[in-house]
Structure 1
Amino acid sequence: MTFTRETRTYRRGLTIGVDIGGTKVAGGVVTPSGRVLARLRTETPDRSKSPKVVEDTIVRVVEELRRDHRVSAIGVGAAGFVDERRASVLFAPHLSWRDEPLRDSLRARLGLPVVVENDANAAAWAEVRAGAGRHVRDVVVVNLGTGIGGGVVIDGVLRRGRHGLAGEFGHMTLVPNGHRCECGNRGCWEQYASGNALTREARELAVADSPVATRLLDAVGGDPRLITGPLVTRLAREGDRACVELLEDAGAWLGVGLANLAAAFDPDLFIIGGGVCEAGDLLLEPARQYFRRNLTGRGYRPEAAIVRASLGNEAGLIGAADLAREALPRRLAFRRKRSSRRRPLR
């Protein structure tokens, strides 16, 4: 584990957010303003191990964080399907959770209120509360990582769907009979605009031995299997035309998908997060162009802005912590709000 701590005096309203991914468990003590006072990160135990091993890791992270801070609740952002009660992880593709009653198990072990939320929903909520979407009421957040996930906030409320499964944007069908997706369908959006899609296209270009892929192959010693999305981004920033075009293609597909989401939700703002966004405007400018080109009623309607997320890798734990705070009983929530008015948040 790696642990960093800032010395702070106790304030009411502190909660812990935990972000669980396929490779890590990250936790933080978070203030009502979204400031992270202490952080702790450890690797996720091997996915072949039992769900209890992952649960034990979460408990260890929380216990270490709460040692020096009085916290009132725990929020957990999990990469998977979370039920409508925000209690159980129905399915986590990168972990061994199937109908796992995570909320009740953690609550019994930690003695604090616990909320479980999909990690993309948690990150979306964080961007609206403390990031690029502050003071905006209608926002769609799209996270571009290995796949594509996201969250929808309408009229200031996180919309989770009847069964808690909203926001799985990556599995909208964009290309009928297109690339096969891990979900079992074909032509899903994440097969064209995600980190995996960018890597696949770059490797195919290299395998074809195209002369435009010379720098890509040189960078990996001639082995296309070593090509990654971050490498494509780095070479594009250095001016390699083939890598610039690969990002333009991914951006174009991103823009088409955003136009579909605009038709469904009509938000004020799209926030784009995730690792693929390290490419910045190399990705987002093509996305904006294709968004305008494919927007229903273009030229006769307001156009949502498309911006990059601002909270980075901590968005998931910040959002999970805030959602846990929001779920506290009304008496505690009122006390927190009254306390926050007495002094400025730091």
Structure 2
Amino acid sequence: MGLTIGIDVGGTKIAAGVVDEDGRIGVRTHRDTPASSVDATADAICDAAAELIAGHDVEAVGIGAAGFVSADRSTVLFAPNLAWRDEPLGARVAAKLNVPVVVENDANAAAWGEFAFGAAKNVEHMVCITVGTGIGGGVVIAGQLLRGAHGVAAELGHMRVVPGGHRCGCGARGCLEQYASGTALVREGRARAESGSLAAAQMLSVCGISDPAQLTGPMITEAAMAADPCAVELLEDLGRWLGEGLASLATMFDPTQIVIGGGVSAAKELLMKSAQVAFEKNLPAKSNRPHAEFTLAELGNDAGLIGAADLARHPSAAGLDPTAGAAPGGTGVDPDAAR
């Protein structure tokens, strides 16, 4: 299959691009996300795709959407930051564009992008975890994207690590996201500053602010990279939580490689070192099993767009029945090899 379109639907922006078989993005476009309107969001997606289709011979469209996506990769069951509830997005967009459409969870799409073309392109078993405002991720086992019976597997950020811990946006308590995300980093940084800590006051000064409420994750990361002691400690604490969570994930999935991406990964070795130390310390039977390699993600913000486009090209990579090829307006496409 030749060119496909990848579309990454965020809470504020819809990014779209034409992607070739080598994962290279050609022409790009974007639209604002009218997040409160189901119809307006679908129209914006179609408008962006139609602009690209007009100038290229496109064979399929892949959409990465934050939320639960059905097993047939067509319906968005639930999206926390958009108005989608049991929304048949794939069929709706396919009917307007008259090309096959595949919908995938955005974190899964990003993980697939790193697997197919990025940091994990030379392995068959990987875990990708994205540390940003929240925690997302995806798992690839033997070259297949893990989606589960209902399409909602690998919600890595919602693995419980502290029974009865901080309340999470998902409704549960003690999720990894509440301890190893950018949101957790900011919460802890502000709490230290509000407690009157002299070290935290120095960190605020390094960030160029005086009000703890103004503190952001990127500020803490930049301060840590400038060797501010309080910021470094905050990043190390986050890395420790992340490493402990990854040790549990490695126990379940036995990956060859663990890829860490997202905004907080800008701290690079400050985060990676503490995460890997905690991982090694907490991995069960650590002396009697191979250990996964830690690497930073390579594709940045383009991972989801590239991954969605490639999954549209190779639907069998995520368990979609390749024999159910749909007529124009459907969601099935004939796949090539998964890689």
Is the pair's TM-score, using the shorter chain for normalization, greater than 0.5? yes
Match of 1:278 among 246, 260, 266: 266
Match of 2:176 among 173, 184, 189: 189
Residue 330 (structure 2) aligns with: none
Q: SS of the residue aligned with 2:287?
A: coil
Match of 1:27 among 5, 16, 28: 16
Residue 7 (structure 1) aligns with: none
Gaps of 5+ in 1: 1-11, 341-346
Residue 37 (structure 2) aligns with: 50
| Inter-CA distance 97–333: structure 2 relative to 1 (3 Å threshold) | closer
Residue 214 (structure 2) aligns with: 226
Residue 51 (structure 2) aligns with: 64
CA distance in 2, matches of 1:215, 1:318: 41
Q: Which letter maps to 1:37?
A: G
Q: What are the superposed Cα offsets for residues 99-149 of structure 1, whole Å, 9 maximum, x if unpaired? A: 001011001111000000000010111111000001201111111111111
| Inter-CA distance 87–148: structure 2 relative to 1 (3 Å threshold) | same
Give the stretch that moved more between structures: 211-220 or 54-63: 211-220
Which residues in structure 2 correspond to 1:1-346 (within 5 Å)? 13-45=2-34, 47=35, 49-218=36-205, 219-327=207-315, 333=334
Give the stretch that moved more between structures: 277-286 or 34-43: 34-43
Q: CA RMSD in A?
A: 1.7
Q: Which letter maps to 2:289?
A: R
**Deviation of 1:91 (Å):** 0.5
CA distance in 2, matches of 1:167, 1:192: 18
Q: Is the 8 A contact 2:15 2:28 kept in 1?
A: yes
CA distance in 2, matches of 1:137, 1:214: 46
Q: SS of the residue aligned with 1:316?
A: helix
Q: What are the superposed Cα offsets for residues 166-212 of structure 1, whole Å, 9 maximum, x if unpaired? A: 11011111011111111111111000001111111111111112100
Q: Which letter maps to 1:101?
A: P
**Deviation of 1:216 (Å):** 3.1
Residue 9 (structure 1) aligns with: none
Q: Given the two structures, how large is their TM-score scaled by the length of structure 1?
A: 0.90
CA distance in 1, matches of 2:195, 2:52: 50
**Deviation of 1:151 (Å):** 0.8
Residue 328 (structure 2) aligns with: none
CA distance in 1, matches of 2:197, 2:131: 27
Q: What are the superposed Cα offsets for residues 19-58 of structure 1, whole Å, 9 maximum, x if unpaired? A: 011121101100011000111123322x3x3211111110
Q: SS of the residue aligned with 1:85?
A: coil
CA distance in 1, matches of 2:202, 2:39: 46
How many matched pairs?
A: 324
Gaps of 5+ in 2: 317-321, 326-332
Residue 319 (structure 2) aligns with: none
**Deviation of 1:220 (Å):** 5.0
CA distance in 1, matches of 2:210, 2:46: 44
Residue 6 (structure 1) aligns with: none
Q: Given the two structures, how large is their TM-score scaled by the length of structure 2?
A: 0.92
Q: Which letter maps to 1:113?
A: P
Q: Is the 8 A contact 2:209 2:215 kept in 1?
A: no
Q: SS of the residue aligned with 1:136?
A: coil
Q: SS of the residue aligned with 1:115?
A: strand
